[in-house]
Structure 1
Amino acid sequence: MNHSITQLAVPGVQKLVPYVPGKPIEELERELGLSDIVKLASNENPLGANPRVAAAIQAALPELPRYPDGNGFKLKTALAEKLAVSTEQLTLGNGSNEILELIARTFLTPELEVVFSQHAFAVYPLVTQAVGAKARVVAAKDYGHDLTAMLAQVNDRTRLVFIANPNNPTGTLLSKEALEAFIKALPASVICVLDEAYYEYVDPQSRADALTWLAKYPNLIITRTFSKAYGLAGLRVGYSVSSAEMADLLNRVRQPFNNNMLALVAAETALADSEYLGRAIAANNAGMQQLTEAFRTLGLAWIPSAGNFVSVDLRREGEPIYQALLRKGVIVRPVANYEMPKHLRVSIGTEKENQLFIKALSEILNDV
């Protein structure tokens, strides 16, 4: 009997639609023959490479023939000191995306369920479907998490709840009080994965200090990344903080040497550079104001964002505007796949990049 190769895959993978990243600059150059392209699609840090990180990578190059430290001892030690946790509570990932996959592989089976919000990060349904678990997607409230409705979907089969705070692609932020009350109300058998990829950009007065909750809620896992505010997206370093018991389970599934040696050196150096981090946050605050003021001038609404991006409501289908922006050399992110067909998500760039986007958008809107 003949079988297609697809039929040989496990059921969850057969119907899986791969994650589609933001269009690379090089791809647009090939397609349209453009130069001087502005990419505001992938929530990357616009400041460029940290000089201290670049110097540390250069110094580490002679060690390339050797395997990295599979335990990430130096980076874990630095993280533990900065976050006031123990190294046994840490799990390092190839970006925080890998941590999300490790969690799914560790705790999910086809008999179990996962709860997450509409408009939440696209990786949540991907890792859920890949292992054959069932997703319960809860309708969003004002483009953010409806915690009351999410809690109502938790049942005896629920094993994981994913919460992005701030949420991507909407940028919405949950209050500390509401978030902790939700975690407290979860059964001990349900693990809350709190995705804080954009944690550093949140106003310190508004953000939850979820690390202090770990002692009270052993079913909590917090994930963070060096890809955003620390400017290391190209090196893929993320981590989770949890109970030591939880971290031990994740580290059993984690592949050896999942972080390359240069990535480990870069993350350790970036973690110690508070000056670069401060500049990144200041540039993001200024850029957010620049973009939202322009949206106001253009008569457009937007979703207030606590991240390094903002989703603007075009009041019309976003795809044609996205394509028109590409023709002007500006890459943003269409979010129809997040059930937001009239929005575009725009990453905060440099002042010049933001202005080029504003000019291009204004011209396009005037022509339609």
Structure 2
Amino acid sequence: MNACESILGLSPYQGGKPIEELARELGLSKISKLASNENPLGVSQKVQKAINDSLSNLNRYPDGNCFELKEAIAKKHGVSSSMVSLGNGSNELLELIARVFVSEHTDEVIFSQYAFVVYPLVTQALGATAVVSPANEFGHDLDAMLSLISNQTKLIFVANPNNPTGTLLSDEDVYSFLKQVPSNIPVVLDQAYFEYLNIDDQAIGWLNEFENLIISRTFSKAYGLAGLRVGYSICSAQIADYINRVREPFNVNHTAQMAAIAALGDDKYLLDSVKMNSDGYNQLVKGFDACKLNYIPSYANFIAVEFKDAMSTYNNLLKEGVIVRPVEMKNYLRISIGTPNENDHLLEALGKVL
């Protein structure tokens, strides 16, 4: 039995190596996982209470329309709840959006070199054509992306901040880009790491002007809910309706919905997350500078660091109990920002490995 050709050429998405797997392989007791851009602060007390309170209803199906969570997100951003779509992490939403707009092998999807690995995965899975714009100093070259638009372009992905490079486009540049994209071509502005910027939210206001704009965000990063998988998008009510037509029923479980509502209302936890990330960034770059390592200045909760032999460094760090992430960038490893102790563990291990 043969799968379709587009699927045969796919490599499954590989997450960061789990702590339990490394413990089994090497018998280590001290392990720091800095591979998956998770929030090292842990789960907030408000979220823990919401999770515990939700357990008594686990025998029931969740609210398939996520009414309360949509209302909370809409209130947070000052939009109509009809503009909000929910997913099993923002990854699912990226796939759903692609399914809405991409259907033929001649359809083209534009994204940047060194952008989020899910973009080429969903494009290839649908049998569409990936049009990859060369990066500009590891970040998006928006002018180059505009030049690649054709009659076959059905979707454009822009990650800001970008993963795995951590680079950031200015609001002015993104707005100018949106002004120049034909209004019939949807643009996904993937803002999974937006909360770490700790700045005013400009993009939500652009939805009033650009009906082709789709903003995606997640609770997996700054809100600390990676294990529960909740993501959301905000866009025109029409596009949100299309997304709702192709999603699986009950795609966000009840506990995840309740936890996300609590997380949205916990401003102190979010501020603490941003501060821990900022302090950790300063701690790591000071250590990288001392080691004379090159790295890409980052606006997210990770740093892409250059090594003479990235895979050798990766494997040697594993032996020291530190898990980082190889990426599709020659001689770079992506290192998540952890707790002060985890960051110290990494820097000590690098001292030995280098």
**Alignment TM class, shorter chain as reference:** over 0.9
Q: Which runs of 4+ in 1 moved over 4 A?
A: none
What SS does the corresponding residue of 1:181 show, helix, strand or coil? Answer: helix
CA separation in 2, counterparts of 1:129 and 1:317? 30
Listed one character per residue, the Cα deviations across residues 313-332 of structure 1 (whole Å, up to 9, x for unaligned) are 12x12000000000000000
- Residue 330 (1) aligns with residue 295 (2): no
What's 1:342 paired with?
331
What's 1:104 paired with?
98
What SS does the corresponding residue of 2:61 show, helix, strand or coil? Answer: coil
CA separation in 1, counterparts of 2:269 and 2:331? 35
CA separation in 2, counterparts of 1:129 and 1:330? 33
Contact 2:196 2:300 in 1 (8 A): yes
- Residue 358 (1) aligns with residue 353 (2): no
Q: Which runs of 5+ in 1 are unaligned?
A: none
Listed one character per residue, the Cα deviations across residues 31-87 of structure 1 (whole Å, up to 9, x for unaligned) are 111112100000000011212111111111111100000011111111111100000
User: How many residue pairs align between the two structures?
Assistant: 353
Amino acid paired to 2:85: T
Contact 1:70 1:259 in 2 (8 A): yes
Q: Residue 216 of structure 2: which of 203, 208, 223 is its match? A: 223
CA separation in 2, counterparts of 1:36 and 1:72? 39
- Residue 92 (1) aligns with residue 86 (2): yes
User: What's the offset of the Cα at 1:245?
Assistant: 0.6
User: What's the offset of the Cα at 1:130?
Assistant: 0.5
Q: Residue 270 of structure 2: which of 255, 268, 277 is its match? A: 277
Contact 1:25 1:37 in 2 (8 A): yes
User: What's the offset of the Cα at 1:111?
Assistant: 2.3
What SS does the corresponding residue of 2:227 show, helix, strand or coil? Answer: helix
Listed one character per residue, the Cα deviations across residues 85-141 of structure 1 (whole Å, up to 9, x for unaligned) are 000000000000000000111110222100000100000000000111100011100
TM-score (norm 1): 0.95
Over the aligned positions, Cα root-mean-square deviation in angstroms equals 0.9
Q: Which runs of 5+ in 2 are unaligned?
A: none
- Residue 318 (1) aligns with residue 316 (2): no
What SS does the corresponding residue of 2:37 show, helix, strand or coil? Answer: coil
Amino acid paired to 1:78: A
Contact 1:334 1:341 in 2 (8 A): no
What SS does the corresponding residue of 1:233 show, helix, strand or coil? Answer: coil
User: What's the offset of the Cα at 1:11?
Assistant: 2.0
Q: Residue 132 of structure 2: which of 125, 134, 137 is its match? A: 137
- Residue 305 (1) aligns with residue 294 (2): no
TM-score (norm 2): 0.98
What's 2:182 paired with?
187
Show the 5 A alignment for 1:4-83. Answer: 5=1, 7=2, 9-83=3-77
- Residue 172 (1) aligns with residue 171 (2): no
What SS does the corresponding residue of 1:235 show, helix, strand or coil? Answer: coil
What SS does the corresponding residue of 2:75 show, helix, strand or coil? Answer: helix
Contact 1:45 1:231 in 2 (8 A): yes
What SS does the corresponding residue of 1:257 show, helix, strand or coil? Answer: coil
CA separation in 2, counterparts of 1:341 and 1:319? 10
What SS does the corresponding residue of 2:304 show, helix, strand or coil? Answer: strand
